[in-house]
Chains A and B, each alone.
Chain A
Amino acid sequence: MANNPEKQVCIFTKEQLDSIKTGYDDWFNNVLKDGDREEELAGKYFTHSGIPVKMVHTPADVSHIDYTEDIGYPGCAPYVRGVYPNMYRGRPFTVRQLAGLGAPEDCNLRIKYLLQHGANGVNILFDLPTIRGYNSDDAEAEGNVGHCGAAVDSIWDMDAYFKDIDLGTISTSIVTHLPSTSIVIPGMYFAVAEQRGTPKDKIAGTCQNDFIMETCVGSGPEILPPPVSFRLQCDVVQFVCQNYARFNPISYNGYNLREAGTNAVQEVAIAISNGIATAEELLKRGMNVDDFAPRMSFFWDLHNDFFEEIAKCRASRKVWYKIMKERFGAKKPKSMLMRFHVQTAGVTLPATEPLNNVARSALQGLAATFGGCQSLHIDSYDEAYSAPTEEAALISLRTQQIIQAETGVINTVDPLAGSYYLEYLTDEMVKRIFDYIKKIEDMGGLVTAVENGWLHREIANYNLKYQKKIENGEMKVVGVNYFRAEEGSAREIEVFEYPETYTRQKAKLDRLRKERSEQKVKESLKILADKCHTDENLYPYTLEAVKNLVTLGEIEELFREQFGLWTFPLIN
């Protein structure tokens, strides 16, 4: 905010503002009906995260905002209006739908299907054993192989995933979630690209790599301690920044924080706190902020509160800009601009009358467009049943295309800017995000906040409050607790099932174990185990291991042995 009144470039002069305030008072006292006035004075309306909402917002609510300094122009500081000057006129947001079910060979067909229907990026998903670092034939994997995503055990599977697809022409989001697998699975992708002769600088994409996913948002039977997971997260960022110019080594996952149970302010503040922690660690390792900050990306969840979600997107860019510039002294503009992927909120999609979810997701996708996202996944209506079926996935893809091609909303940049309500919310959101970041820092930073279980309790408390509002009807869910659907109106949804995935993966693993050099496997694992106890970056060693046909499960088992396990809070 501008403190220097001479510099202030407010939209309204002082005289105009005085007249607006007088007009508002007149309206409030003489036009509003008594009951409405009392209700407004009682302050009954709030956004989802708790920001007060007035019946009518006026220029008086945004009179302290300096247009040039606080809002500005797209592609210019503080990036409230977007990260590129021409935004979607230059290139609409990337249509990036999820693809992942069964075995890699099945996913390969789905990826080709999506690319043929106009998608220009892909999101690849893994089954739970792969996500948590087990081979398909490990005992822990029983019953989960090929569900909710594809099984990837070795570099052979990555090769099959992208059979006949040029890795130099697509952008791939590798949804690894955990740092402990982000140091392995994207490495398989890099190694496949190398084998096919794709130049390093043509490899584009993102991996998720977020220690909060490993230690807080997701749970599992065996969890690495937060400081270890955080170290691996930073190893991935450092190595990828130094080797792959077009690959984003981290996507701070606000999305799953939100789905797990936070509001919009917490979602952004926690993800940015992780960005701060990463930056501090990499500076300690001798890197320059401008060498890694341009490669950091974020991932937001677009939930139901339409205007608050748009405000969140705009506010998050400003907070990141200020932190990178003022706190870390970044020089390159690219270091200060926050790029983010959006997924619509799966948690808002009930199983009851599932086709209604097409409408919910379209509205959330529209909010993402107004928020200036760089890429978008629109959830499918069958979210509460399974990973999307082909029909459902196509409707999501078409919804994105309808927003882009038919509504006209992408023809002008940040079209809702200047709305008194939206600018008021954006400004409030910026303040509240900074306050929550400070709370985390005062506690000793994000790794500490996770280690001592504070963040887990924040999430659990939020969920209890939110769920009580659904149970008592205060928060309306159409068809569920509001205009309740009749019994039996559930639609029978076909779910994908790949019972043969386990057998196929098992056969491949057996063949792999026969064909690989056990000598090389042992050597790679021995070196990796030794390096775990040094300060060295582990990525070169995991990369070497996957090239030597060491499996994901073997590397993860090694981490668990070398680093030990941590007990998830909340367990009693």
Chain B
Amino acid sequence: MTRPIKVVMAKLGLDIHWRGVYLVSQFLRDAGMDVVYIGNKFPEQIVEAVMQEDADVVGMSTLGGNHHSLGLKTVRLLKEGGLDNVKVFMGGVIPPKHVPALLEGGVNRVFLPDTPMQTIIDVVNGSVSV
């Protein structure tokens, strides 16, 4: 008996443009996942939502440069909250040379501009066994 993968999607902090994050949310939903879009949230609030929703996956979108600070802070807070098993994905306008540091910090995968939606769906599907 499998259940749908539960995904919490957030816009990170003060980031403004919601086109990308909402599109990814819609595509994941159409692919059969249970997606909750929580809007603009700070790391503490994201972790709280992950806990409340009992999510398998958290996706964070950022175009404005807070990927290091707030993105990695979210990963740290998830670990501190005992949520190490939650998969963390980031996407948006993130300079490619910043990606290794994010992966090292515990982000499972960073999706850069031009990534096909099917790639995101496949990676998320492959990251969780439910």
Query: A residues engaging B (CB < 8 A)?
Result: 127-129, 131-132, 134, 140-144, 147-148, 218-221, 259-261, 347, 350-352, 384-386, 459-460, 463-464, 467, 471, 480-481, 490, 492-493, 495, 568, 570-572
Contact = CB atoms under 8 A, between A and B. Distances in A.
Given A142-B70, A351-B113, 14 more contacts: A141-B14, A143-B68, A147-B66, A219-B18, A219-B39, A220-B14, A221-B41, A260-B17, A352-B114, A471-B116, A471-B117, A495-B95, A571-B39, A572-B36
B102 to A, nearest CB: 13
Contacts of B27: 467
Contacts, number: 109
Interface in B57-73: 64-66, 68-70
B37 A571 contact: yes
A143 B22 CA distance: 22
Given A384-B113, A464-B26, A134 B95 contact: no
A395 to B, nearest CB: 19
Contacts of B11: 219
Contacts of A463: 19, 22-23
B17 A471 contact: no
Interface string B94-124: 0111000000000000001110111000000
A74 B127 CA distance: 61
B13 interface: yes
Given A221-B14, A386-B93, A467-B117, A144 B40 contact: no
B36 to A, nearest CB: 6
A131 B63 CA distance: 14
B97 A259 contact: no
A128 B62 CA distance: 12
Contact of A351 (B26, B38, B42, B114): B114
Output the residue of A147, A221, A350, A490 with the most chain B CB within 10 A: A221
B113 A260 contact: no
Contacts of B13: 128, 140, 142-144, 221
A115 to B, nearest CB: 27
B52 to A, nearest CB: 13
Interface in B21-64: 22-23, 26-27, 36-42, 64
- Interface range for B: 35 or more
5 A-B pairs closest in CB distance: A143-B69, A147-B65, A143-B66, A351-B113, A128-B14
A148 B95 contact: no
Contact of B16 (A140, A218, A464, A495): A218
Contact of B37 (A144, A490, A570): A570
Interface of B: 11, 13-19, 22-23, 26-27, 36-42, 64-66, 68-70, 93, 95-97, 112-114, 116-118
Nearest to B98: A495
A555 B64 CA distance: 23
Nearest to B18: A219
Given A140-B14, A218-B16, A219-B40, A350 B64 contact: no
Residue among B14, B18, B27, B39 with most chain A CB within 10 A? B14
Contacts of A132: 14, 16
A259 B116 CA distance: 19
Residue of B11, B15, B97 contacting most chain A CB atoms (<10 Å)? B15
Given A129-B14, A134-B14, A221-B13, A144 B23 contact: no
Contacts of B95: 385-386, 493, 495
Nearest to A219: B18
B68 A568 contact: no
A132 B22 CA distance: 20
Contacts of B96: 490, 492
Nearest to A256: B17
A220 B18 CA distance: 9
A571 B38 contact: yes
Contacts of A571: 37-39
A352 B95 CA distance: 13
B118 A144 contact: no
A319 B114 CA distance: 36
B33 to A, nearest CB: 13
A221 B114 CA distance: 27
A571 B114 CA distance: 25
Contacts of A134: 14
A470 B114 CA distance: 10
B17 to A, nearest CB: 7
Contacts of B37: 570-572
Nearest to A498: B65
A397 to B, nearest CB: 22
21 contacts: A128-B14, A128-B64, A142-B13, A144-B13, A144-B66, A147-B64, A218-B17, A221-B13, A221-B40, A221-B41, A221-B42, A260-B18, A350-B114, A384-B113, A385-B95, A386-B93, A480-B114, A492-B96, A493-B95, A495-B95, A571-B38
